[in-house]
């Protein structure tokens, strides 16, 4: 296997089937510009390959001879449950497509670890009222980074993992988590992913970070795909471009591709036009 499909067919076709195995890719975007929808599409379409070949062929087409669909798909969230994420994905893509595609997607909800040090009422994120017994167990709490690390060690090998989102993690209500921890996490993921040989997509809200913070993340990851709004006249268009990506950016540069015009429809995130240097 030379490539792992992103699940966005036109992008995968252009870059030779998908991302190089063992890649950690930042999906950095402005609000609503398509980064989150890219995550939803990647998880759903790759899941669809395991559950409905006809729908997969209709919405994606044929997988490149150089690529192989990941065996399992894992969607990690620090603030949302699997049911909440399924509902959000249905707001983006057609209901039939989502029902078939997410059937094999494993959703990991770390709300417990994320909110446990905050002042948020426990029943808001566990849907269970705190008891005296729970209070007594409070000293034996697992941190959110520890929970994430244990999960990835068990499930990341050879698979697609979506982490939603690094921005949430950077704002985790923890006394011991600062920006250097976030950068080291991405650098550690990059090192570990070489052995895992799968694909890790890390969502980040670019508007919430300084240029220095964004630069440190880009330096720690294997690739960064940016999603932005482009304004012209009375219209706004979604555009995507690859800022850096080992094994991918040289191919785009060789074909003089500078950016992609994108759209979001019932089939999820898609590329509507390829913009080349003129």
Local mean pLDDT, 10-residue blocks, the chain (278 residues): 92 96 96 96 97 95 95 96 95 94 96 80 64 44 86 97 92 75 94 96 93 93 96 85 93 92 96 88
Both tokens of residue 18?
């998908």
Distance of alpha carbon 73 from alpha carbon 85, whole angstroms: 14
Q: Roughly what angle, to the nearest 10 degrees, separates helices 179-196 and 144-155?
A: 10
Please name which of 81, 8, 30 lies closest in space to residue 203, comparing C-alpha atoms: 30
* Cβ partners under 8 Å of residue 265, min gap 6: none
Give strand pairing partners of 4: 19
Please name which of 70, 69, 74, 75 lies closest in space to residue 88, comparing C-alpha atoms: 75
- Alpha-carbon torsion (28, 113, 104, 182), positive or negative: positive
Both tokens of residue 21?
């195995």
Provide the pLDDT for residue 148. 94
CA distances from 156 to 137, 201, 227 (A): 30, 11, 25
Distance of alpha carbon 116 from alpha carbon 154, whole angstroms: 23
Provide the pLDDT for residue 180. 87
Distance of alpha carbon 144 from alpha carbon 151, whole angstroms: 11
Provide the pLDDT for residue 119. 67
Provide the pLDDT for residue 130. 47
Provide the pLDDT for residue 236. 86
Distance of alpha carbon 63 from alpha carbon 14, whole angstroms: 12
100 neighbors 60 (Cβ within 8 angstroms): no
Provide the pLDDT for residue 1. 60
Kind of pairing between the strands at 199-205 and 257-265: unpaired
Give strand pairing partners of 12: none
195 neighbors 23 (Cβ within 8 angstroms): no
179 SS3 class: helix
217 neighbors 186 (Cβ within 8 angstroms): yes
Distance of alpha carbon 203 from alpha carbon 178, whole angstroms: 18
Provide the pLDDT for residue 138. 44
Both tokens of residue 1?
């296997």
Distance of alpha carbon 161 from alpha carbon 198, whole angstroms: 8
pTM: 0.91
Provide the pLDDT for residue 116. 83
Report which DSSP code applies to 208: G
Look-up: residue for tokens 């076709």? 13
CB burial string 17-31: b at 16+ within 10 A, e below: bbbbbbbbbbbbbee
């Amino acid at each position: 296997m030379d490539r792992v499909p992103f699940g966005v067919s036109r992008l995968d076709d252009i870059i030779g089937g998908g991302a190089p195995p063992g890649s950690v890719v930042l999906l950095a975007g402005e609000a609503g510009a398509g980064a989150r929808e890219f995550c939803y599409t990647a998880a759903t379409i790759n899941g669809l390959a395991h559950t409905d070949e006809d729908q997969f062929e209709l919405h994606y087409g044929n997988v490149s001879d150089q690529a192989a669909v990941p065996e399992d798909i894992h969607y990690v969230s620090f603030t949302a449950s699997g049911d909440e994420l399924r509902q959000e994905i249905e707001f983006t893509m057609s209901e039939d497509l989502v029902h078939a595609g997410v059937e094999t997607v494993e959703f990991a909800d770390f709300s417990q670890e994320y909110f446990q040090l905050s002042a948020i009422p426990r029943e808001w994120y566990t849907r269970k009222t705190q008891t005296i017994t729970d209070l007594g167990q409070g000293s034996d709490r697992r941190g959110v980074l520890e929970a994430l690390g244990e999960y990835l060690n068990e499930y990341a090998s050879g698979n697609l993992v979506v982490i939603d989102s690094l921005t949430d993690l950077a704002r985790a209500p923890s006394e011991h988590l600062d920006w250097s921890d976030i950068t080291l996490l991405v650098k550690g993921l990059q090192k570990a992913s070489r052995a895992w040989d799968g694909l890790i997509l890390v969502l980040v809200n670019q508007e919430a970070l300084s240029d220095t913070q964004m630069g440190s993340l880009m330096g720690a990851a294997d690739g960064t795909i940016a999603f932005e709004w482009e304004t012209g006249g009375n219209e706004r268009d979604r555009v995507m471009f690859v800022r850096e990506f080992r094994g991918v950016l040289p191919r785009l540069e060789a074909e003089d591709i500078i950016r992609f015009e994108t759209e979001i429809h019932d089939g999820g995130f898609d590329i509507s036009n390829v913009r080349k240097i003129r």
